[in-house]
Each structure stands twice: as structure tokens, then as C-alpha cells.
Amino acid sequence: MAIAGLAAVPQQSHRPHGWRRWLFATNHKDIGSLYLWFAFCMFLVGGVLALCIRAELFRPGLQFFQPELFNQLTTLHGLIMVFGAIMPAFTGLANWMLPLMIGAPDMAFARMNNWSFWLLPPAMALLLLSFVVPGGAAAAGWTLYAPLSVQLGMGMDLTIFAIHILGVSSIMGAINIVVTIINLRAPGMGMMKMPMFAWASLITAYLIIAVMPVLAGAVTMVLTDRHFGTHFFNAAGGGDPILYQHVFWFFGHPEVYIMALPAFGIVSQVIPTFARKPLFGYTSMVYATSSIGVLSFMVWAHHMFVTGMPATAQLFFMYATMLIAVPTGVKVFNWIATMWEGSMSFETPMLFAIGFILLFTIGGLSGVTLSVAAVDVQLHGSYYVVAHFHYVLVAGALFSLFSAVYYWFPKMTGKMYSERLGRLHFWWSLLWFNVTFFPMHFLGLAGMPRRIPDYALQFTQFNQIASVGAFMFGLGQLIFLVNILYSLRHGKTAAQQPWEGGNTLEWRLPTPAPYHSFSEAPQLDVAENGVVVAMQGGKHG
């Protein structure tokens, strides 16, 4: 049976070399590394697009790009960062760390895992290729709103196919994560004991399985509207463009949490380690994460307050959205309570985690502001929204990813990263991130709209500050690359336990983690948040 082939686990001793090791990769660590490197490359590509945008916006008037190309840049920046950088990076981390943290030999479906990664490069190639087809890339914004997406050139078709492929890839990745966590935990690793990172990945994976098919449906409708004579979104044919927004945001809002929940998971591992205290309120963390997952399905129309919804619907979505601030507040409270009276040390992962809490909370607060329907009418489609979601996605998702890479780098590679470069990277990113995105709040409040290549003169100064910040922030990410490349070669050999406070299962493994770990499951005695009290057995092949 074809489906059974997916589950076949390769010979334990088998370790291919050269390009075969990567193209035919079935080892979760290899696939995790592929994901992470791919995500970093896409982060650089999306970053270059962002810098193009900021270069154009440095001065009013048109300098470098015509409006058509500018719209393509904003659209592709969004799509690449969401689907090419952040989501694959989280999937990569889950691939790398989950089996180590819950005592599984590998991911449940090793060959499917290979497919979920190798679908990504062709999808991203399609997206980037669309820049050179007649009419250029998709230019409807990352949300691909109809009727614009129905009218654009063939770049839009390439984008639709790319999204289909990305959807299949992330669904397969998510299924793998769910099955691994549900079925492959080592004896003793109970559900209400496992690390928060595993919980966050599990709920994220369920969200992906539930909403990526909805996005696939939405873009398929756009495709049939474009080529097969349907009128789902074409008002002239009896369709309704507002319908697209409903279908899209039914996907889009849970997608926001797909990019945020794993970050919560990472921070919930890092903070206890460097505060040398167990995570405060583990059970409430689990329930908070789950309720954020459930609530995320009920708030989609807060993206659509200006579409002419009845006041009752606006009120419902407004209060439902504000409700999400409660479980999120529980999390922030718990992280701070974990640090309270802890004996903290501030290595790079901890710095990024604290930076995350600070800036993510600012992004969350501007989110609560936007959730007020009456205020949103003024701020909708303005730079305030841009500031808001960059605070939660850059300072949220991205900072947590940096934190995770620094945190687990010794376990993955057996080398220590350079602490000096790491701290420089953090302070540099923190400073220039705020220089870039904080002025955008003011721009939005003053009325500057999103997605425009030119603006009124009174917005010039804040835009110049933001552009300088963006280029410096971008430059700072090269510090990270240099640190990783240098440390891979010349880094100091890492101890099995590089962090004094690290007490989850992955720190019980030798460093670097053996190619095949836990080929025989260990017998565990585990406390909350995956803290290993005692371990017996557990072989690495």
C-alpha cells in the first residue's frame, strides 16, 4: 500500500553522503537543517525586497520603482516572509528539536517529511519567477484580495500554484508533527508534562491542518474566476468580492497564530532555563495556548470592519478579538512571573526572549487598539497596521527564532556560537527594529496609507527615519550569518549541558546530538514543561 511506504524508517546505521544525504534526506535533523537554511535564505530574499520598499519610500515621489513594480515588491515581501521564512523556520525547528525533546527516534513519517521540505524550493521558485513573466509578479498584496487578484496577469497564476504547493508542504509537515507528538512520546512523557514548545507546535500543526485547505480553496476560486468562467468574486457576474475576504481571513487569522504560537513555545523553554526556575503556571500556559487556538477561528472579520458589516457583527468580532488578549496576557504574566526572583543570566537566547516579551506586548497592545471597531475605521489600511504586525512578526516570531537558534545551536552542532557577536546582534536588532517600526505608528495615526510608493510631504521625516532603521536592521542580520558560519568552523566545543538551567530532555543527549538519537526510547520521570527528573535507558544508534 502506497501510504505505508511513507512510514518506512530507513536503516538505522545508514547515513548517505554528498548530495544524496540532502536530496533523499529522511533524518529529522538533516531535514530540520534544510528547513532552517532555506528559511534563512528566504528571510534574506524577503529582506532585500523590504529594503527596496524602504529605499523607494526614503523620499516622496517616485525614485526607483514604478507603482506597479512597487506593489509587486510589497506583495512578494509579505508572501515570502510568511510562507518562505517564518513558517518553514518553525517547522524546521520542530523537526530538529521535537524528537529530542519528547524522546522519539525520528519524525513519524520520514519520507513524507522529505517531501514536505522539497516542495518548498519549487514553490518559492515559482513565486520569484513571477517577477519576470509578462505583467510581473502578483501585486494585490499578500492577501490577494479579489477583484484585483482576478484581474492581474499571469504572475498571479504562478502565485496561486505556488500557494497550492506551499499548502501541501505545510499540511504534510503539520501532520508529521501531530502524529509524532501524539504517538511517539517516550514512556513517562505525558501530554500534561511535555515541553511547552511541543504543545505550541502541536496546536500550531492543528491550526495549519484546519486552515491551509481553506486558503487553497480561496485561491482555487480565484483561479476558476480567472480562467474557467466562474464568478465567485466578480460583482459583474453576480459574485461578491467581500466573500473572498471572508474566506481568506478565515484562513488568515489562524495563520497569524500559526506564526505566533511556536514563538510562545520557544520563549517558554528559554525563559525558565536562564531564570533557573521552573515555568510559572505550566497548566495555565497549556490552556491559554489552546484557547488562543480556538478563539483564532472566531475573530476573522476584525480585518474587515470597513466592509460595511452590520453593527452587531462588528461588536461581536470586536469583543471576541479583545477576548484573545486574556490568554495572551496570561502568558506574558507567566513569563514575567517565571523571571521573578529567578537567578537570571543574560546570554543571547535570553536577551532575545526578553526582547520578544517586551516588543511582542507592544505589538499586542496596538492589536487591541485596532480591534476597537470605531478606531479601526480610522486606522484600517494605514501604516499603524504595518507597525502593529511587524511588532508581532519581526519582534515576535523572528526574535523568538533567533532565540531558539542561539539556544539550541550548541546541541545541534556541538560548537558554541560567539557570545559577543550574539549580543551585538541582539542589541543591534533591538535598536534598529524600533527605529524602523516605531515611527510607523505615528505615520499611521497621521493617515499615511499602506502599499503606496509615494506619499504626502508631511510624512517625509518619519519615513526617512524608518528607511535608515530598515537598512541598519538588515545589515545587522549579517552579524547573525557571520556568527553562525564562523562558529560552525571555529566555535569552541560545546559541553553536553551548555546552559546551567537547561533541564529538558534534549540536554540529556550527547553534544552534538547523535545522528540517530533515542533509537531505543528512554524510560522517563518528567515534571511539568518537560523537565526530566530521572531517565533510564535510551540508546542512540
Partner 1 sequence: MASGMQAANLTLLRRLLLLVLLMFGFAWGLVPLYRVICEVTGLNRVVVADAMPGRDAAQIAARPVLLQLDAMVQPGLPWQVRPLQSRLQVKTGQFIQLQYELRNNSRQQVVGQAIPRYLPAEAAAYVKKLECFCFRQQLFQPGETRRFPVVLVIDRALPAAIDSITLSYSVFDVPQGEGRP
Give contact residues for partner 1 (rule: CB under 8 A).
3-4, 6-7, 9, 105, 108-109, 151, 171, 175, 178-179, 182-184, 209-218, 221, 232, 235-238, 240, 243, 246-247, 250, 308, 310
Q: Helix, strand, or coil here: 521?
A: strand
> Helices (H) and strands (E) in the chain — how many of each?
20, 2
CA-only gyration radius of the chain, Å: 23
User: Pick from 81, 65, 91: which is nearest to 127 by CA?
Assistant: 81
Q: Is 321 a catalytic residue?
A: no
Which member of 106, 157, 347, 506 is catalytic? 106
Q: Is 312 a catalytic residue?
A: no
User: Which CB atom, from 230 or from 434, has the smaller least distance to partner 1?
Assistant: 230
User: Which CB atom, from 283 or from 312, has the smaller least distance to partner 1?
Assistant: 312
Distance from C-alpha of 375 to C-alpha of 114, rounded to nearest angstrom: 46
Task: Tell me the closest approach of the beta carbon of residue 359 to partner 1, in angstroms.
Answer: 33
Q: Is 302 a catalytic residue?
A: yes
Which member of 164, 302, 441, 508 is catalytic? 302
Task: Tell me the closest approach of the beta carbon of residue 304 to partner 1, in angstroms.
Answer: 12
Which member of 54, 77, 164, 226 is catalytic? 77
User: Which CB atom, from 13 or from 183, has the smaller least distance to partner 1?
Assistant: 183
Distance from C-alpha of 34 to C-alpha of 29, rounded to nearest angstrom: 9
User: Which CB atom, from 235 or from 294, has the smaller least distance to partner 1?
Assistant: 235
> Is residue 175 within 8 Å of residue 209, measured between CB atoms?
yes
Q: Which residue has the cell 524602523?
A: 436
Which member of 159, 328, 413, 418 is catalytic? 328
User: Which CB atom, from 57 or from 304, has the smaller least distance to partner 1?
Assistant: 304
171 secondary structure, DSSP code: H
Q: Helix, strand, or coil here: 346?
A: coil
Which member of 28, 253, 380, 390 is catalytic? 253
Distance from C-alpha of 406 to C-alpha of 234, rounded to nearest angstrom: 49
Task: Tell me the closest approach of the beta carbon of residue 166 to partner 1, in angstroms.
Answer: 14
* Sequential DSSP letters for 139-169: -STTTT-TTHHHHS-HHHHHHHHHHHHHHHH
> Is residue 530 within 8 Å of residue 505, measured between CB atoms?
yes
Q: Helix, strand, or coil here: 66?
A: coil
Q: Is 142 a catalytic residue?
A: yes
Question: Which residues, at least 6 apart from 19, have a Cβ–Cβ distance to it below 8 Å?
Answer: none
User: Which CB atom, from 219 or from 260, has the smaller least distance to partner 1?
Assistant: 219
Task: Tell me the closest approach of the beta carbon of residue 108 to partner 1, in angstroms.
Answer: 5
Query: For residue 434, what are the CA distances in angstroms to 158, 389, 404, 440?
Result: 35, 13, 21, 10
Distance from C-alpha of 479 to C-alpha of 481, rounded to nearest angstrom: 5
Distance from C-alpha of 98 to C-alpha of 78, rounded to nearest angstrom: 28
Which member of 29, 54, 303, 411 is catalytic? 303
Q: Please report how many Cα atoms fall inside a 13 Å half-sphere around the Cα of residue 255, on the Cβ side.
A: 26
Q: Is 255 a catalytic residue?
A: yes
Q: Which residue has the cell 503606496?
A: 452
User: Which CB atom, from 170 or from 487, has the smaller least distance to partner 1?
Assistant: 170
State the Cα torsion 433-436-437-443 to the nearest 10°: 170
Task: Tell me the closest approach of the beta carbon of residue 374 to partner 1, in angstroms.
Answer: 16
Distance from C-alpha of 486 to C-alpha of 336, rounded to nearest angstrom: 34
Distance from C-alpha of 146 to C-alpha of 223, rounded to nearest angstrom: 11
Distance from C-alpha of 246 to C-alpha of 253, rounded to nearest angstrom: 11
Q: Is 170 a catalytic residue?
A: yes
Q: Is 22 a catalytic residue?
A: no
Task: Tell me the closest approach of the beta carbon of residue 216 to partner 1, in angstroms.
Answer: 6
Which member of 130, 170, 400, 467 is catalytic? 170
Task: Tell me the closest approach of the beta carbon of residue 137 to partner 1, in angstroms.
Answer: 20
Q: Is 371 a catalytic residue?
A: no
Task: Tell me the closest approach of the beta carbon of residue 296 to partner 1, in angstroms.
Answer: 14
User: Which CB atom, from 80 or from 163, has the smaller least distance to partner 1?
Assistant: 163
Q: Is 388 a catalytic residue?
A: no
Which member of 257, 282, 391, 417 is catalytic? 257
Q: What is the set of active-site residues? A: 77, 106, 142, 169-170, 253, 255, 257, 268, 302-303, 328, 331, 450
